[in-house]
Amino acid sequence: MHSAAGTSAATVPSIAVADFAMHLRAQRGLSEHTVRAYVGDIEHLMAFAGRYGRTEIMDVDLGLLRAWLASMAAAERSRATLARRGAAARTFFDWARRTGRVATDPALRLASARPASPLPTVLGVDATARLLDVARTRAQGADPIHLRDWAALELLYATGARVGELCGADLDDLDLSERTLRVLGKGDKERVVPFGVPAADAVQAWLDRGRPALAGDFAGRALLLGRRGGRVDQRQIRGVAHAVAALAGVDDVAPHALRHTAATHLLEGGSDLRSVQEVLGHASLATTQRYTHVTAERLRTSFEQAHPRA
């Protein structure tokens, strides 16, 4: 694609692109990988413009930008690629306008091609039960870490908390009498989430037999600990989720999948969207509404499998 433009993209545009790359590194603090991607996107754009005799960045207008994206869509480039290249163009021309390289920003009204948003991984009720049963069985051994793993997985599913929220929880955030956990979510927003008897049993076993065996000098008030006695790391809990899923013979899951699973099961059980939004700590109801698509897909699958006239 670069050769199609000949020398058209090698004079003023090449200087501007080099300056843009310096801006991304110095002012935006972007990684070298991202800088290379953005520079490649703008070079791709200027090569496309050169085929239409537009050799300067001020020759690029909204129509050409739309034609550029449309050509990639017609070539069946991924939505992620279209989204990134659109973002690169908007960033570049915003910078070019602010630095006086163009009089107006042609990308100001360029629509964003959003990347495809796949539905989250969700375990069925039976598969979730198998996962947690395996965690409970492992916890009957002598290793206190397995007690922690059981408590962590039960809490992730029961509360729908993010793994970072759970790992950041302290003993003071736990109320076993009320069966609630206070977590600190995005934007430093606190919320209190309830959990059921199975999770309470797992947490009680961890507090009675697991945590005292592991607590070291750096344990502080952390609810969940690692093997060295300090606060558990998110990566350790992610590893636990994958390992226990394999032992249980269910779909491979990350801790976030248990959050998705909890939300889906709540909706399938009759909870309203607002309640689920509060449990998950979503700022926008639109985020929670993603799970209605999950439940609809599961309902469709069940219908097609069970209904005689499906």
pLDDT digits (tens, 9 = 90+) for 168-208: 999 999 999 999 999 988 878 889 989 999 999 999 999 99
At 55-77, the pLDDT tens digits run 888 999 999 999 999 898 888 88
Q: Among the options 186, 209, 227, 300, which is catalytic?
A: 186
Q: Percentage of the chain surpassing pLDDT 90?
A: 51
Q: In what order do the strands lie in the sheet with 180-184?
A: 174-175, 180-184, 190-194
Q: Among the options 162, 211, 260, 265, which is catalytic?
A: 162
Q: Is 282 a catalytic residue?
A: yes
Over residues 109-130, the mean pLDDT reads 77
Confidence at residue 176, expressed as pLDDT on a 0 to 100 scale: 95
DSSP 8-state class, residue 171: G
Distance of CA 137 to the CA centre of its chain: 31
Q: Is 38 a catalytic residue?
A: no
CB 131 within 8 A of CB 261: no
- In 63-123, DSSP assigns E strands to none
The span from the CA of 133 to the CA of 258, in Å, is 15
pLDDT band at 301 (very low <50, low <70, confident <90, very high): low
pLDDT band at 41 (very low <50, low <70, confident <90, very high): very high
Asked if residue 37 has pLDDT above 60, the reply is yes
CB 162 within 8 A of CB 169: no
Asked if residue 294 has pLDDT above 80, the reply is no
The span from the CA of 207 to the CA of 173, in Å, is 14
Q: Among the options 84, 259, 260, 265, which is catalytic?
A: 259
Is 125 or 118 the better-scoring residue by pLDDT?
A: 125
Confidence at residue 80, expressed as pLDDT on a 0 to 100 scale: 82
Asked if residue 113 has pLDDT above 70, the reply is no
Confidence at residue 264, expressed as pLDDT on a 0 to 100 scale: 86
Q: Is 238 a catalytic residue?
A: no
Rg (CA), the chain: 26
Q: Among the options 77, 256, 290, 298, which is catalytic?
A: 256
Q: Can you tell me whether residue 231 is helix, strand or coil?
A: strand
State the residue for tokens 């090449």.
Answer: 14
Confidence at residue 295, expressed as pLDDT on a 0 to 100 scale: 58
Q: List the single range of 21-30, 112-121, 298-307 with lowest mean pLDDT.
A: 298-307
CB 49 within 8 A of CB 39: no
DSSP 8-state class, residue 161: -
Q: Is 256 a catalytic residue?
A: yes
Asked if residue 3 has pLDDT above 50, the reply is no
Q: Is 162 a catalytic residue?
A: yes
Q: Percentage of the chain surpassing pLDDT 70?
A: 85
Asked if residue 11 has pLDDT above 60, the reply is no
